[in-house]
Amino acid sequence: MIYFRSMTENEYPAYLEYFVHDYAYEIGSNYGISQRDSLARAKQEISELLPEGVKTHGQVLLCIVAHSDNTDNHVGYLWYKPDTTMRIVFIYDFHIFNSSQGLGLGKQSLRAFEEYLRAKDFKEIRLRVAGDNTRAQHIYVTSGFGITGVNMSKSIAD
């Protein structure tokens, strides 16, 4: 069984350590930006989006927990922003730890998240996935997400 709990302030630094580097890699890989510049961009964006960390108003940071055999294992993270007027949430980050991947926990977590949101009367989940992240794309498509657009870019710098 999967459940979610609020991320604590003590857990936030570990989340940042994972997220900033993962996001910087995604930026560099997809936009051809140097490692140094992509890391600076990732740090800037997260400081703008989460200026108060876990206490940032309008942002929800959760830990994904798998419960099995009377044991709770923290297996990942979920960061989303709810729009209570439109009844939509936007997932900024969904991550299952490498040590927990390949066990079906991604799909289980998405189903549990849908149930959690449905109980709160939300109507839609939106997200963006990197073009080169085929594993995530597969999980989302097989979980019922549809492609609503394609991000494209072209470098025009010398």
pLDDT in tens, 15-46: 999 999 999 999 998 888 899 999 999 999 99
User: Is it the case that residue 114 has pLDDT exceeding 80?
Assistant: yes
Domains of the chain: 2-142 (3.40.630.30)
Q: What is the dihedral of CA 4, 47, 152, 62, to 10 degrees?
A: 0
The rounded mean pLDDT for the chain is 93
- Angstrom distance (rounded) from CA 51 to CA 27: 20
